[in-house]
Structure 1
Amino acid sequence: MLLPQIGAAVTVALTVTGQQLASALIDTRGLFRLPQRTFTAARGVGLLLLVAGSLLIQLF
């Protein structure tokens, strides 16, 4: 429903960002009987870059 207002690029960027944030949470907590993986600085930086990229696409 928001696609006409925010555009296709932002929609795709936010979808990918949301999936990556959810997967990091699942990995960190070991949900769904998956092995726990530690949250490293590299993963945090990668997630921050995804969020920053989504914001930049929206602003420009």
Structure 2
Amino acid sequence: MLDHCAFNGDADGLCARQQLRLAGELDPNVQLVSGVKRDIALLGRHGPWRNAPAWAHLS
């Protein structure tokens, strides 16, 4: 189970977050992280992603 989800702060990232919420795919306890557009260091500054490998779930 995911406990953190990161989204870009641009329109695509914000729309993706909203679509997951509307579809009921996000647990209410999931911590959402987003930043400004093109924030390439976003994951490096937040919690469990700091110095950890990143992965993406595509479906």
Q: Normalising by the residue count of structure 1, what TM-score does the alignment of the two structures yield?
A: 0.30
More helix by share: 1
Q: Normalising by the residue count of structure 2, what TM-score does the alignment of the two structures yield?
A: 0.30
